[in-house]
Amino acid sequence: MHSEYRHARKQHRYLKGRWNYYREAIAMARRLAPRHVLEIGCRFTPLFPGSDRLDYMAEFQPTILHDATTVPWPVADRAYDLVIALQVWEHLGDRQREAFSELPRIARYAILSLPYKWRRRSNPSHSGIDDAVVSRWSGGLRPLETVQLPLIGRHKRKIYLFDLNEAC
């Protein structure tokens, strides 16, 4: 996976500096041994070969062309072992709670990475996200595991693993 990432990074500046949290999310996911994975908003390179991909932009050639803020998603119940969305949830406007409500319906586990406690006036969607905000978005579902990554520049990221069986 790292070689695919490095190749994609050469073509897409967007990917620069993202391997640290990608690597952590991949390690977390591998412990779950998922067979069917849905990646949301993975854009330039999926982390899991053979995964399905959901995005609202056709240019990224998703398997499922759909806006995650519109529920229900066109996905069968319990179709996936794992849903993974890295640096996506903060971009869902005010629909994070609605989008999260779809996760227990379609999967057993979810991994979300988020900008953690950023303060960016120029980009409010990345600002003010902490554990309390994530708890609101997840309807109070407590994460099974979290990993706070070391600073990348001035920014922290946090990865949350949710056991969606607990939400049912």
How far, in Å, CA of 125 to CA of 165, rounded?
29
Cβ neighbourhood burial of 129 (10 Å; 0-12, 13-18, 19+) = buried
The per-residue DSSP string of 78-102 comes to: T-EEEEEEES-GGGSTT-HHHHHHH
The per-residue DSSP string of 31-49 comes to: HH--SSEEEES-TT--SST
pLDDT digit string, tens, across residues 35-69: 999 999 987 778 888 999 999 999 989 999 999 99
Residues 6 or more apart whose CB falls under 8 angstroms from that of 19 comprise 2, 5, 9
Per the prediction, the chain carries an average pLDDT of 87
Query: What's the confidence (pLDDT) of residue 119?
Result: 79
- Tell the CATH topology of 2-167: Rossmann fold (3.40.50)
What does the domain layout of the chain look like in residue ranges? 2-167
